[in-house]
Amino acid sequence: MAALGTGLPTLLDLAKRMGPDHKVEAGLVELLAQTNEMIQDIPVMEANDGSTHLTTLRTEMPAVYWATINAGTAFSKSTTAQIREGTGFLRSWSGVDATLAAMSNDVSGFRLSEAKAFIEAMNQEYQQTLIYGNAGAAATEFNGLAVRYNVLSGTAASVNVITAAGTEDSPSDLTSIWLVKWGQETIHGIHPKGLAAGLKHTDRGLQLIQSSTTLGAMEALDMYVDKFELHAGLALRDWRAAGRIANIDISDRLGATDSVLPALMRRLMASVYVPGRAAFYMNRTTAYLVAEETQRAVSAGGGITWETVDGRPVMKFQGIPVRMVDGILNTETAVA
């Protein structure tokens, strides 16, 4: 029988998952798993125009005049503009040969071990797109944060882009810190109208799958099939609700003895001033640098505190939670 391709589990994959009791090992170590806490924070709303979301912004105030008695004043008006935000969807299929699953001695456990990897892959791709998605470069994606805050001057949003003055070496070791104030009127996730938010898993059960046709005879096999889907987008309704400290040079900051990042974070807080549920987002390398530099700057106010939330310590900077996002790269292109 012809093989379906390399995107399916094999006997070797099964052997690598079996424990000493000849069953699928329940404690499979997910070395590729990431911590992406932005996904836990983002509020999600249904798009208001099918698969897109339309936001109306006031762009100009009406003219007002000092008046005198017996003298008229001119009519005036405000002006508005509309922004349309798109959505995209992730989809993936998992197929496990029914015979291979039976050989595992635990059909459900083997399928679950594979499903966990799909869920984590969807998680990581969604987080990467929330930061770096660019519908102009990849039409099936939605626009993330970086494409909106990608210059130091020349746009309205560039006011909220602060540079840490790092330069793009080869290879690049630049990263960013983000501050976002989530809310219905500021920035939030979207999903297409009529479709559920979040990851959807559909167990398609045992299916007869055609693998190829040879001399008119269909070659087929029984497979357990799972479908994974995620419909999502990002609506930035108010550019003042987010900001970025860009061009943080990891190697330079690791070797530095001064304190720079806490001051830049305070400056970003002053720029991102609209109401909303605030959080800083950075990867674990940057979080270490912020903690170290805050310790050095404790005489100047520092600002790091720790609180226990749901049984685990949460770092806060001047009262704003600091969230870990492994999806924020240490290899960013310099923002100019």
Q: How does 8-39 read in b/e, with b if 16+ C-beta sit within 10 Å?
A: bbeeeebeebbeeeeebeeeeeeeeebebbbb
Please state, in angstroms and rounded to a whole number, the distance separating the CA atoms of residues 3 and 18.
23
Per-residue pLDDT tens, the chain, 336 aa: give them: 344 545 655 545 545 555 555 455 555 455 557 889 999 899 999 999 999 988 887 888 999 989 989 888 899 999 988 889 999 999 999 988 899 888 888 888 888 888 888 889 989 999 999 999 999 999 999 999 999 999 999 999 999 999 999 988 878 899 999 999 999 999 999 999 998 888 899 999 998 887 665 555 556 789 899 999 999 999 999 999 999 999 999 999 999 888 999 999 999 999 998 999 999 999 999 999 999 898 876 655 567 787 877 777 888 999 999 999 999 999 999 999
Contact 245, 265 (CB under 8 A): yes
Using CB atoms within 10 A of its CB, is residue 181 exposed (0-12), middle (13-18) or buried (19+)?
A: buried
pTM given for the model: 0.85
Listed residue (1, 331, 4) closest to 171, CA to CA: 331
pLDDT value, residue 27: 53
d(CA 333, CA 335): 6
Confidence at residue 169, expressed as pLDDT on a 0 to 100 scale: 81
Q: Which residues contact 41 (CB under 8 A, 6 or more apart)?
A: 180, 182, 277, 279, 323
SS3 content of the chain, % helix, strand, coil (to 5): 25, 35, 40
CA distance 22 to 105: 8
Buried b (16+ CB within 10 A) or exposed e, 132-159: bbbbeeeeebbbbbbbbbbebeeeebbe
